[in-house]
Structure 1
Amino acid sequence: MNAHASSLPRRQSYLDVYLRVLSALMLRDMRSRFGGTYWGYLVQVLWPCAHLAIIVGAMKFRGLRSPMGDDTMVFVASGALPALAFQYISREVMKGYLVHKPLTYFPQVKRFDTVVARVLVEIVSSFMGVMLVCGVLLCFGSDPVPADLMMAISGYLAAIGLGIGIGTINVGICSVFPGWALGYILVTLTVYLTSGVYFMACYMPDEIYYYMKWNPITQLIEWVRLGYDPTIPVQVDYLYLFGWIFGSLTVGLLMERYVVRAQQ
């Protein structure tokens, strides 16, 4: 009896099944980008470098100088990286839910699992993009290391946190109005262009700067840039930003509980 029992396959625990589901969803995420191969995932990781090259090239062509320090590449990277981290995560979490929705007919796959898997993939992609950009900056003779490393890293992590919070809200909206996936592209484009990625928001007229400060992405960019130049005349409202991060995450989780699950 004991010999027979020992020969039976071990029953997998709930955690084992859950981790296997997450890993399968993450691999599917990576293969579903740009043509259905892992090379497509590499294209997404390389996109921040291409983005940086385009913007720096445009500034050089127009003869614009960096308003923060003497390095245009570092100035653009310090604004673009946190803004893109927020933009990609908040958008891709929603797209991941839509792409993997048919898989939720399997009992092992829950809709929230698709959100968790896409969040993990996007976090890894974000840090890979940062390391790649830093390598490119070093190759061109720029110093990507901030004066206050913890300040810059904490600002970037806050951008990721806000992207996760807004992404979960987008999932709730998309579960009811799938067309929001297209509408949100216009929202992120508007926010990106008006957040101070290519200029210093603090040097705008006070009347304009006052309203720009209500945009959390503007303050996240200033948070990261404080790590590179602590002398810039900005004051980040950390309480306001953490309110956005934890408030959006709370609303998103409530929507997942009472809106997304109601659609099942």
Structure 2
Amino acid sequence: MKVASLPKYRSGRIMIALMLREMSTTYGRSPGGYLWAIMDPVAAVVLLSFAFSLLLRAPSLGTSFLLFYAAGYLPFNLYNMVANTTSRALRFSRELLAYPDVTFVDALFARFILNTLTQLIVFIVVISGILAVIDTTAILDYPQILHALFLASILGLGLGTLNAFLFEWFPAWMQVWSILTRPLFLASGIFYIFEDLPRVAQDLLWYNPLFHVTGLMRAGFYPSYRAAYASTLFVMAIALIALVLGLLLLRKHYRNLGEL
């Protein structure tokens, strides 16, 4: 009975092995290891807060620049890390994918799970630190915050999975995607809220799903902010369409990608 039940857990064991491999290669070889995963967003939030505090008297919401920019930057960073690592999962595990027991699904979801958990830890550490050292009088809506984090991670998984195929099938797409998405840092509501923008900009940026994510996240930190424009359905539709399309394309073609 035990022997017969082992295949059910084979995929889970493979994903755990892939996650441990990435932990050792990505974080284990650099001085500081996981510390850099935390210090990078901390430095980004601090620099943003310092720079904009010199230009503005107060952020668009609340009184703390640190909390305002952290609430925008951290979900963006979660999406960005998940999307980037997932999109390169086939290249990262190319040698292991030659084994019949290791599938592209294992490679994709191992990177998705590991990087999502890493960024969730980063989120908890950074936000806890801000709330501990600054009197923000924030009232946190935890279900709303978790909701925004889930949308950021599933959007990263969906677009990352589709790009995992496209990066291999059309190598030039990697450079094109990098150019196309470079403005996202400025166009995803990290520095401002949707309501601060003129109507023309609102009509255009509404189609950026990350703007919905940052709006929903800030609604979790500021009870008076509703983010009425934000649509969970819109974000989920983009994420799931990209995920399903990416998985279907990989299922059909992944053995021919990169001579796998």
Aligned residues: 256
Aligned counterpart, 1:129: 122
CA distance in 2: counterparts of 1:260 and 1:38, whole angstroms: 35
Cα offset, 1:38, TM superposition:
8.3
CA RMSD of aligned residues (A): 2.5
**DSSP-derived class of the 2:15 partner:** helix
1:206 is the counterpart of 2:202: no
1:104–1:227 distance in 2 versus 1, CA, 3 Å: same
Structure 2 unaligned segments of length 5 or more: list them: none
Task: Give the counterpart of 1:14 among 7, 17, 30.
Answer: 7
Deviation at 1:28, TM superposition (A): 1.2
Deviation larger for 139-148 or 72-81 = 139-148
Contact 2:162 2:242 in 1 (8 A): yes
TM-score by length of 1: 0.86
- Does 2:242 correspond to 1:248? yes
Q: Contact 1:94–1:181 at 8 Å: present in 2 too?
A: no
For residue 63 of structure 1, report the CA deviation from its aligned partner: 4.3
Give the letter for the 2:192 counterpart: F
| C-alpha distance in structure 2 between counterparts of 1:194 and 1:153, whole Å | 22
Larger Rg: 1
TM-score (ref. length: structure 2) = 0.88
Rounded Cα–Cα distance in structure 1 between residues aligned with 2:95 and 2:111: 15
Q: Which of 8, 13, 17 pairs up with 1:24?
A: 17
In structure 1, stretches of 5+ residues that fail to align are: 1-8
CA distance in 2 between counterparts of 1:36 and 1:188 reads 29
Match of 2:159 in 1: 166
2:103 counterpart residue number: 110
Q: Distance in 2 between matches of 1:166 and 1:144?
A: 36
Answer yes or no: is the 8 Å Cα contact 1:33–1:41 preserved in 2: no
What are the equivalent positions in structure 2 for 1:79-228 lying under 5 Å apart? 79-143=72-136, 146-228=139-221
Q: Which digits, 9 at most, give the CA deviation of each residue in 1:141-181, with x for residues without a partner?
A: 24496442212221121111111111101111012123434
Shift of 1:261: 3.9
Task: Tell me the amino acid that sits aligned with residue 169 of structure 1.
Answer: L
2:53 aligns to what?
60
